[in-house]
Amino acid sequence: MDAYSQIVVSAVAAAKESVVKIDVRKLNKQRKLTPAGAGSGFLFATDGYVFTNSHVVHGAAELRLTFADGTEHPATLVGEDPDSDLALLHTPATGQPAARLGDSARLQIGQLVIAIGNPYGFQHTVTSGVVSALGRTLRTETGRLIDNIIQTDAALNPGNSGGPLIDADGQVLGVNTATIRGAQGLCFAIGINTATAILPALLSEGRVRRGYLGLSTQQVELHPRVINFHQLTTRQALFVVSVESGSPAEAAGLRAGDFVVAFADQPVASTDDLFRLLTGDKIGAFQYLTVLRDQQRQKLELRITPVDGRLAAMTKE
């Protein structure tokens, strides 16, 4: 056996027992359970906790896991975060080996990576490739962007979602999540560091809390004279189309027609910039929203409230 094959075989042997096939059933209009797709996941703790994608299990009425040895076990949804497309499951299954988690921050372009999953129901399918790029962003179904996405050419297909992306040592570096339809070798995984960062919130609250402002915006280009006069670091700003009644933005005095250029003293050039800054640690705290109004620069103080399942701001394209 050649050296490359030996590396792949060894890595798969170290991780494959932790990989599960997830069968999803949902209630139909007659309130009967019906099959609603399948995906992948991986056990990362010996006490039965499994990572997968939110889009795999969202809205499920029943979840069943199939392990590499063919045994089936029920699972329950502990929590999910659609904004990062991650979900946490728990199964009462015992004695199953858990995957070892690596450090996605140490990945390098060109590094060997291996995907394990269940594409189209073919259990424990293995594909390999390299890290094609790092630091990509990927938009989720909620409209938010996930940062630090891993791009790889390890082939992924429907059913791979939620499975692990591992390195040559069998350590999990990412959660496989998406491909670009019609493209060849454009596959993406969420860095495992992102998953472990939100794990405490999923365990304690079943969700990840983010802040809410209550404004509708449109990204616009600023005139060079405005940029130079106010010494701005970006060429774009958010033009406020409307402000929701009773929202933190309204309470702070934000008006339609204002131009948002910074939040919490950080430059804002797009709604994605604003979303990234509306983290859970800011909920309940007072922050400054910097705006341009009537050619003047103003700071509006507002108190951030939780988003409760909605986008932190509504965007008008």
The residues assigned a catalytic role are: 55, 85, 161
DSSP codes of every residue in 246-257: TSHHHHHT--TT
DSSP of 32-100: -EEEEEEEEEEE-STTSEEEE-HHHHTT-SEEEEE-TTS-EEEEEEEEEETTTTEEEEE----SPPPPE
What is the token pair recorded at 81?
A: 């975060």
CA pair distance 160, 181, nearest whole angstrom: 14
DSSP assignment string, 304-315: -EE-TTS-SSEE
Residue 76 dihedral angles phi and psi, to the nearest 5°: -120, 150
Structure tokens, 7: 């590396």
Q: Which single residue is written with the structure tokens 């280009």?
A: 221
The per-residue b/e assignment along 251-278, b for 16 or more CB within 10 angstroms, e otherwise, is: ebebeeebbbbbbbeeebbbbbbbbbbb
Give the number of other Cβ atoms within 10 Å of residue 183's Cβ: 8
